[in-house]
């Protein structure tokens, strides 16, 4: 079952509707083949503690349709009206993927799954624990702070009600309707802020799954390296609602950069509201991310990470799965900035892993090659796109590179001669933004020795109708509907592109790719 969007109503709101499945395009998939790797690919889960007090949601309004600088700031991404529903989207995706036990094109068994980073949104330990509970099938509560009430920017508090955020329970007495409902057609969903925080037992992914480190797993808001002062505010009781008087928007935007350094401004006299402190919101430390995976119950143990990752505080590794060697890269620049690169030690390790392999190579990272240009390095040197690509193209054993980060479906051949000298880079869309899809990737070899890659997008199990949004699948369906209607991505309101940009072209979705015999 596939999903699309209806015609817009008078306020631009589009309902989610059931559509026909897209047929596969490209090459004809071989009827007989030898499997190399069959893997579910999930990316950018962004499991989010939307009540965390240091999330600068107020910055996002500068990307709204009425902002005079919206084209300059682009997408900021510090606020999504559905962030508090992120855990339920992951649950719905897991339920859907668990029904796909063989490749839809080849019929070969699925070997496992990979999650290419940004599993969390703000690099908090409670977010890591929630994501692990979801993937490994544990009981958990997607809530923080005071478990008796919601304490984020979309709560029911009259004293700090802000019309620039969607308030699903409606308008408090004496206040104006928020913009989301009054201008953009967003619904009222009674009790949502209670139902989305209710504990539940996750289904758990029924395949061995492998983890990849993303910038949102290591850096605050995916950009800023954790520091002692910021960590104290993360676990504290002040939720800041605006900038301090001595800091301008230009100052903040200049400090949140693709290439580091990056930093939060000092709080000083910034306005705030009081919330419940929570020590579980602390920033996850380097090495601790791997340690939490090693302590998780699912398979394989550590989900790719080993004791060496904990000890050396690096997040890259290699393993064998199916008929390939899977090499997982840590593309995060830990010094800051949201784009990627490698340090010299990892780059040398990567080439050695490829050069010494007697099996075909599949790479996985959070950042795609095109975004590996974060050269910021207060110590040492960072290795960026040109050097990485040049090295990889020396080795014909490299077949594919799985990535995320851009929240879109995108397929690109990397190399001088398509289907001959090079490899396919496969980016998969996110759970955070429309169309909230994953994909199944089948890599096989035919009798002539050619390699085929069959790609099939997968929708989560939330339907087109969100009902009362009272259980995980209904809540996931609501999240899909909200993601389809983001007001910052409406062309009729001046956006340069709409949410379908994340869906990619037809050639980025259900497609059969080929690599000729080498």
The 10s digit of each residue's pLDDT in 465-488 is 999 999 999 999 999 999 999 999
Record the tokens describing residue 164, joined without a space.
């620039």
The pLDDT-based confidence of 460 (bands split at 50, 70, 90) is very high
Mode of pairing for the β-strands spanning 16-19 and 2-5: antiparallel
User: Are the CB atoms for 239 and 144 separated by under 8 Å?
Assistant: no
For residue 437, list its beta bridge partners.
459
Q: Which of 293, 133, 299 is nearest to 208 (CA)?
A: 299
CA 407, CA 89: separation in Å to the nearest integer?
15
CA–CA distance, 401 with 412 (Å, rounded to integer): 10
CB neighbours of residue 431 within 10 Å? 29
Token code pair at residue 386: 């040109």
* 158, 164, 168, 171: CA torsion to nearest 10: 40
| Closest among 47, 37, 10 to 479, alpha carbons compared | 47
Banded model confidence at residue 116, pLDDT cuts 50, 70, 90:
very high
Give the angle 48-364-263 at the CA atoms, nearest 5°: 45
Q: Among residues of the chain, what percentage have pLDDT more than 90?
A: 92
Cα–Cα distance for residue pair 38/102, rounded to 1 Å: 8
Q: Which residues are within 8 A (CB) of 202 and not within 5 positions of it... i.e. 6 or more apart?
A: 91, 94, 133, 134, 135, 136, 137, 138, 139, 140
Residue 256: its pLDDT value, please? 82
Radius of gyration of the chain (CA): 22
Distances (CA, A) of 213 to 119, 129, 225, 267, 428: 8, 15, 14, 29, 15
Fold of 2-143+167-183+191-515: Purple Acid Phosphatase; chain A, domain 2 (3.60.21)
For 215-226, write each residue's pLDDT tens digit: 999 999 999 998
Each residue of 57-103: pLDDT tens digit?
999 999 999 999 988 888 888 999 999 999 999 999 999 999 999 99
In whole angstroms, give the CA distance from residue 265 to residue 248.
10
- The answer to whether the pTM exceeds 0.95 is yes
Burial class (CB in 10 A: 0-12, 13-18, 19+), 449: exposed
């Amino acid at each position: 079952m596939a999903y699309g969007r209806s015609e817009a109503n008078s306020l631009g709101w589009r309902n989610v509707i059931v559509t026909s499945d897209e047929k596969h395009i490209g090459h004809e998939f071989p009827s007989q083949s030898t499997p190399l790797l069959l893997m579910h690919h999930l990316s950018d889960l962004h499991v989010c503690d939307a009540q965390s007090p240091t999330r600068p949601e107020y910055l996002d309004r500068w990307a709204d349709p009425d902002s005079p600088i919206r084209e300059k700031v682009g997408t900021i991404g510090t606020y999504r009206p559905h962030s508090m529903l992120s855990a339920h989207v992951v649950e719905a995706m897991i339920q859907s993927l668990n029904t796909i036990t063989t490749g839809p094109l080849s019929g070969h068994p699925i070997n496992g799954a990979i999650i290419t980073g940004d599993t969390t949104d703000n690099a908090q330990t409670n977010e890591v624990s929630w994501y692990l509970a979801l993937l490994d099938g544990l009981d958990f509560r997607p809530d923080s702070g005071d478990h008796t009430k919601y304490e984020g920017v979309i709560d029911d508090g009259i004293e700090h009600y802000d019309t620039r955020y969607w308030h699903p329970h409606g308008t408090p007495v004496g206040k104006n309707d928020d913009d989301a409902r009054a201008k953009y057609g967003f619904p009222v969903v009674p009790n949502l802020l209670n139902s989305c925080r209710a504990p539940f037992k996750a289904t758990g992914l029924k395949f061995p799954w492998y983890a990849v480190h993303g910038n949102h797993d290591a850096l605050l808001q995916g950009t800023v390296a954790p520091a002692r002062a910021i960590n104290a505010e993360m676990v504290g009781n002040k939720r800041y609602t605006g900038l301090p008087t001595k800091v301008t928007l230009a100052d903040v935007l200049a400090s949140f950069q693709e290439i580091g350094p990056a930093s939060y401004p000092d709080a000083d006299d910034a306005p705030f509201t009081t919330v419940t402190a929570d020590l579980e919101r602390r920033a996850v430390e380097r090495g601790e991310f791997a340690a939490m995976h090693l302590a998780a119950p699912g398979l394989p143990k550590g989900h790719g990470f080993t004791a060496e990752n904990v000890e050396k505080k690096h997040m890259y590794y290699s393993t064998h799965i199916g008929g390939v060697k899977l090499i997982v890269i840590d593309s995060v620049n830990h010094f800051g900035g949201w784009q990627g690169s490698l340090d010299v030690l990892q780059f040398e390790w990567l080439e050695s892993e490829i050069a010494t392999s007697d099996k075909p190579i599949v790479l996985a990272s959070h950042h795609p090659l095109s975004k590996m240009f974060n050269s910021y390095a207060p110590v040492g040197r960072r290795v960026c796109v040109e050097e990485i690509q040049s090295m990889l193209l020396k080795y014909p054993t490299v077949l594919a590179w799985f990535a995320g980060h851009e929240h879109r479906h995108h397929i690109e051949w990397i190399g001088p001669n398509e289907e001959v000298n090079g490899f396919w880079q496969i980016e998969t869309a996110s759970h955070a933004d429309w169309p909230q899809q994953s994909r199944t990737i089948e890599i096989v070899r035919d009798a002539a020795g050619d390699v085929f890659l069959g790609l099939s997008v997968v929708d989560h199990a939330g339907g087109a109708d969100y009902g009362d949004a009272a259980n995980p699948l209904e809540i996931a369906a609501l999240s899909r509907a909200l993601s389809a209607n983001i007001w910052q991505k409406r062309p009729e309101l001046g956006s340069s592109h709409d949410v379908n940009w994340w869906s990619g072209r037809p050639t980025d979705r259900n497609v059969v790719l080929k690599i000729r015999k080498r």
